[in-house]
Structure 1
Amino acid sequence: MMGLDTAAGLLGKGRLADELCITVRNLNYKIGGERGACDADIIAAARGLEERAKRFLAHAQKLRAVVSQAMSPSAKQPGLTDLGIAA
């Protein structure tokens, strides 16, 4: 099933298999179509992707916070005008 294959590519087969409470071997059978994928499998895959997305977003927010602190007036960074270049 293409949806599970894409999820496995994003999460990794081991993590996706854990989300589905199956072995990687059984996951390969589901991806290959030898075994069926039920609604619960798709929901579990979506849940795993959502959890990973939350971690990505949290890390992105941390990175933005670092940049915001570096750009605050109290943390003076040399800009173009400091280098004698007109903006």
Structure 2
Amino acid sequence: SALFLFFVFAFIWLSVRWRAQRSVQKVLNARWSAQEPGSGLEGIAREWGEGLLGPLEAEKTRMDELENERERLQRELSSVG
């Protein structure tokens, strides 16, 4: 009897959860498809990622420039000596 009630409860819980998930997904799809491409969650995530990577890319460029300058100075010193 308890096992039967457990299965009934599990079935009801899963069906309610499934319907709620479908409803939320339908609303989100309708909202994001009506907007411009890239302005939904994907666009927000891309913008956030670019914001995180911007300073790292600038630092990498700076480090590459410093490495080139070091190599130039090393060649200059070796040609003098």
Q: Please give the range of the TM-score, normalised by the shorter of the 2 chains.
A: 0.3 to 0.5
Q: Computing the radius of gyration over CA atoms, which structure comes out larger, 1 or 2?
A: 2
TM-score computed with the length of structure 1 as normaliser: 0.38
Task: Judging by fraction of residues, say which structure has more helix.
Answer: 2
TM-score computed with the length of structure 2 as normaliser: 0.41
Higher relative contact order (CA 8 A, sep 6+): 1
